[in-house]
Amino acid sequence: MTAALTLPPDPRLEGTLSVLSPSGELLRPDLVPGDEILLKLYTGMRRARVFDDRAMVLQRQGKLGVYPCFGGMEATQVGAALALQDGDWVLPTYRGTALAMMRGMTLAQILLAWRGHPAGYQVDPKLHILPFYIPIANQIPHTAGIALAEKRRGTGLLAMAFIGDGGTSEGDFHVGVNFAGAFCAPAIFVIENNGWAISTPTSVQTAAKNLASRAEGYGMPGIRVDGNDVLAMYHVTLEAAERARRGEGPTLIEAITYRILPHTSSDDPKRYRQETEADAWRGRDPGMRLRAYLESRGMWSEEQEQDVMKGMEAEIKAAMLEADQAAPIEPEALLEHIYAEPLAEMKDQLAEIRALEALK
């Protein structure tokens, strides 16, 4: 854990809330959650990371389609997810696999989603997580709408959306966050600021000093947090959630993190950035940070670590078997679920597809 001590300070992190230092020293004893939460946060991150590593390997083996990895950014998603209640809504981007795991989507289903199989899109409505959003920022106005619905019904539930730093340039981002503010809707917007939008750094994305400062213009608090510090992330999300449930409206959270891996399995970051930058952020690894803290309190051992790792490997293996057994895609998959009842011409088209497939 000494490597982290030599980390140069990163200007991106200036003014962000941290609970633990990169080497796991406790900076804010007042913000440490209970032991049970600590362990859930740690295992949530560990499991997510193992999945991410395996998914990249599976992609290389041709067993998944294009895969948007998140390794090194898991604290943002895991911390935020654990601060929510059952019934709260989550609107993830394509990079939200850790969120999906935390919200209870099965690994088999996540694998099928990244395999481009319809079963991967059939998210259980009870989980209140929507399928990964591909077009940037479309989820932001939806979040305002869902939050407004919960407000009208007086449920005390909220909606939380994720977006990248690049995504905050889209019109839908501004429109959606503004609506949530205007309607005082119980919403949380998490900007997962990983420094890059494919090859475009945040500094080219905007002239704003930081992204959270925009919140003032939308009439809501804007909070900057060390996104690699899962305890900080958990804390600010919990506060935002309580505010939302008290009827005080939405919060914009800018989580400063870093994408140490490529943008997706088909990207090559060497084309546009210095890998020394990524190396520095490897030293801020969110899992290592919490583990060091847990170990300092005697709450975690190598044995427990191995248990989580082995358990996860076995789970992924089982999930792969399950995913492999998913029904082959039938022509119906193309034309089903577009209308409640297929239109007459669609029935004809279905017959046509079946006939064509039969010829193959």
Ligand X SMILES: Cc1ncc(C[n+]2csc(CCOP(=O)(O)OP(=O)(O)O)c2C)c(N)n1
Check if 42 is active-site.
no
Which has the closest alpha carbon to 305: 107, 97, 55, 39? Answer: 39
Residue 303 CA neighbour count, 13 Å, CB half: 2
Alpha carbon distance 77, 190 (integer Å): 9
Q: Which of 34, 134, 209, 327 binds ligand X (CB under 6 A)?
A: 134
Note whether 84 and 242 are within 8 A (CB).
Answer: no
Check if 272 is active-site.
yes
**Is residue 57 involved in binding another protein (CB under 8 A)?**
no
Show the binding pattern over residues 166-205: x = contacts another protein (CB under 8 A), - = does not: xx-xxxx------------------------xxxx---xx
Residue 231 CB, shortest distance to another protein, in Å, is 30
The first and second tokens of residue 172, run together, are 């839908």
Q: Which does 1 bind (CB under 5 to 8 A by kind): ligand X, another protein, none?
A: none
Residue 218 CB, shortest distance to another protein, in Å, is 17
Strand 89-91 relative to strand 159-164, pairing: parallel
Note whether 98 and 75 are within 8 A (CB).
Answer: no
Q: Which of 51, 70, 89, 94 binds another protein (CB under 8 A)?
A: 94
Of 71 and 167, which CB lies nearer to another protein in the complex structure? 167
Which amino acid is present at 67? Y
Alpha carbon distance 219, 136 (integer Å): 23
Q: Which of 66, 318, 321, 351 binds another protein (CB under 8 A)?
A: 66
The first and second tokens of residue 316, run together, are 């992924």
Q: Which does 196 bind (CB under 5 to 8 A by kind): another protein, ligand X, none?
A: ligand X
Q: Which does 335 bind (CB under 5 to 8 A by kind): another protein, ligand X, none?
A: another protein
DSSP designation for 339: S
Note whether 231 and 31 are within 8 A (CB).
Answer: yes
Contacts of another protein in 147-166 (CB under 8 A):
166
Check if 263 is active-site.
yes
Residue among 60, 272, 297, 337 flagged as catalytic: 272
Question: How would you class 200 by CB atoms within 10 Å of its CB: exposed for 0-12, middle for 13-18, buried for 19 or more?
Answer: middle
Q: Which residue has the tokens 């854990």?
A: 1
**Is residue 117 involved in binding ligand X (CB under 6 A)?**
no
Alpha carbon distance 276, 284 (integer Å): 13
Residue 114 CB, shortest distance to another protein, in Å, is 9
**Is residue 133 involved in binding ligand X (CB under 6 A)?**
no
Alpha carbon distance 214, 118 (integer Å): 38
**Is residue 226 involved in binding ligand X (CB under 6 A)?**
no
Q: Which does 194 bind (CB under 5 to 8 A by kind): ligand X, another protein, none?
A: ligand X
Strand partners, 223: 253
Angle at alpha carbon of residue 27, lines to 25 and 30, rounded to 5°: 125
Q: CB count, 10 Å around CB of 280?
A: 17
Q: Which of 194, 237, 251, 265 binds ligand X (CB under 6 A)?
A: 194
**Is residue 327 involved in binding another protein (CB under 8 A)?**
no
Which amino acid is present at 213? S
Q: Which of 134, 327, 340, 358 binds another protein (CB under 8 A)?
A: 134
The first and second tokens of residue 231, run together, are 């305890």
Q: Which of 198, 335, 350, 353 binds ligand X (CB under 6 A)?
A: 198
Q: Give the residues lining the site for ligand X (CB under 6 A).
A: 95, 134-136, 164-167, 192, 194, 196-198, 259, 263
Q: Give the residues lining the site for another protein (CB under 8 A).
A: 65-66, 94, 115-118, 121, 134-136, 166-167, 169-172, 197-200, 204-206, 267, 271-272, 329, 331, 333-335, 338, 343, 345-346, 349, 353, 356-357, 359-360
Catalytic residue annotation:
259, 263, 272
